[in-house]
Amino acid sequence: MTVGSARWLIDVCLPREGYAALDAVHASDFARVPGPVGLRDAHRLERTLVTCAEEFRGPCALRLDHSGVVVFETAPANGAEVARNLRHLEFRIRQYEGGLALENNRFLVKSDKELYVIGADGIEYELEPWREVHMQLSLAVAV
């Protein structure tokens, strides 16, 4: 996956405008059952679901063949904030050089702060390794 190559399906809980720089479709732009969109719509459209729906957090046994889910912890103020965070997520995934993909994974976005991948067991793993402090201690022994 390269930056800018992801195809997004933006749920109705997120702002409708501000996605011109992304390959994004807002759920309100197509005919569907009223209410939040889900994995079926995303799978049918071959797009990664972007939502605020908390039911995608925690332990979850999703089908293995989904296009991915991105959950915003809190609803962003505007589409530009959503787009900025999705581009950042794409950037971070690209840094894993094939070891991580949008497909078949769930991600948590704490807007403009932190990114996590959500394991099947519900544990949220940090995707910003630079935030981890690594200190090498050396002990000087006086003789």
Report CA dihedral (27, 66, 68, 72) to the nearest 10 degrees: 50
User: Could you state, in order of their start, the residue ranges of all structural domains in the chain?
Assistant: 7-131
DSSP-assigned letters across all residues of 54-66: GGGSSS----SS-
Average pLDDT over residues 30-52: 82
Residue 2: its pLDDT value, please? 40
Residue 65: its pLDDT value, please? 80
Residue 38: its pLDDT value, please? 81
Residue 3 scores a pLDDT above 60: no
- Summarize pLDDT for 87-123 with one digit per residue, the tens: 999 999 998 888 899 999 999 999 888 999 999 899 9
